[in-house]
Chain A
Amino acid sequence: GAGVSQTPSNKVTEKGKYVELRCDPISGHTALYWYRQSLGQGPEFLIYFQGTGAADDSGLPNDRFFAVRPEGSVSTLKIQRTERGDSAVYLCASSLLAGANVLTFGAGSRLTVL
């Protein structure tokens, strides 16, 4: 597709459950990023992929969060044992090259943990 596609757009889950959020970047973009935007805040960096490898995962809040990009295209953000504080909009972005700084964002996946 022409833009960054994220699914689901909305996810409601119960505390303790496992969730997966998917990101389909712009075709040909080698760099892929996950950010999290909590209510009233700006996006916060979680993890960055260059190709298939996670080049920087320093923003992941704890070991309940994990992300993969096995074929260097689609990425999945996985959250185990969800907590109410995980409720946020999870934004995926991609760029043609690493370090390009100008990111193209998807519309986000809104996660609500009850």
Chain B
Amino acid sequence: DQQVKQNSPSLSVQEGRISILNCDYTNSMFDYFLWYKKYPAEGPTFLISISSIKDKNEDGRFTVFLNKSAKHLSLHIVPSQPGDSAVYFCAATPEGNEKLTFGTGTRLTIIP
């Protein structure tokens, strides 16, 4: 039972354009959401998070949007840069809980 779903295993975007990565969840107890980025042979690194009391959080080129009624969140990267090429994982948890539930990841490739 996949509680966090990333339905696009891969995505290719031209450099300078917007990258949009999507994530859906099923567990209504989740109220804190995170995006991690992973390069080959490295561990995932934290990118950005959002609490369910907000519907948007922005950090530089990265913005996460949360639609609680649809149980959907998305990560927008604009403008996309070649260094953004990586696997992106969506993760969710009840706030203050230690266990993160991850999606299966989306491999983003930025085309120069």
Contacts from A to B (Cβ < 8 Å): 4, 31, 33, 35, 40-45, 48, 55-56, 58-59, 91, 93, 98-99, 101-108
Q: When the two chains form their complex, are residues B32 and A40 in contact, meaning their CB atoms are under 8 A apart?
A: no
Residue of A whose beta carbon sits closest to that of B33: A101
Q: When the two chains form their complex, are residues B99 and A103 in contact, meaning their CB atoms are under 8 A apart?
A: no
Q: When the two chains form their complex, are residues A41 and B104 in contact, meaning their CB atoms are under 8 A apart?
A: yes
B104 to chain A, nearest CB (A): 5
Question: In the complex, what residues of A have CB within 8 A of residue B101's CB?
Answer: 45
Q: List 28 A-B contacts (CB under 8 A).
A: A31-B98, A35-B102, A40-B104, A41-B104, A42-B4, A42-B6, A43-B100, A43-B102, A44-B102, A45-B100, A45-B101, A48-B98, A56-B98, A56-B99, A59-B99, A93-B43, A98-B98, A99-B96, A101-B49, A101-B93, A101-B95, A101-B96, A103-B100, A105-B36, A105-B44, A105-B45, A106-B43, A108-B43
Question: In the complex, what residues of A have CB within 8 A of residue B32's CB?
Answer: 101
B80 to chain A, nearest CB (A): 22
B51 to chain A, nearest CB (A): 10
Which 3 A-B residue pairs are closest in the complex by CB-CB distance? A105-B43, A42-B102, A99-B96
Q: When the two chains form their complex, are residues A43 and B44 in contact, meaning their CB atoms are under 8 A apart?
A: yes
Residue of A whose beta carbon sits closest to that of B103: A42
B91 to chain A, nearest CB (A): 8
B25 within 8 A of A: no
Secondary structure at the A interface, as helix, strand, loop or mixed, is loop
CA distance A4 to B42 in the complex (A): 11
B58 to chain A, nearest CB (A): 17
- A45 partner, pick from B43, B46, B99, beta carbons under 8 A: B99
- B44 partner, pick from A48, A91, A99, beta carbons under 8 A: A91
CA distance A4 to B46 in the complex (A): 14
B34 within 8 A of A: yes
| Residue of A42, A43, A44, A103 with most chain B CB atoms under a 10 A cut-off | A42
- A102 partner, pick from B4, B49, B102, beta carbons under 8 A: B49
Q: When the two chains form their complex, are residues A107 and B41 in contact, meaning their CB atoms are under 8 A apart?
A: yes
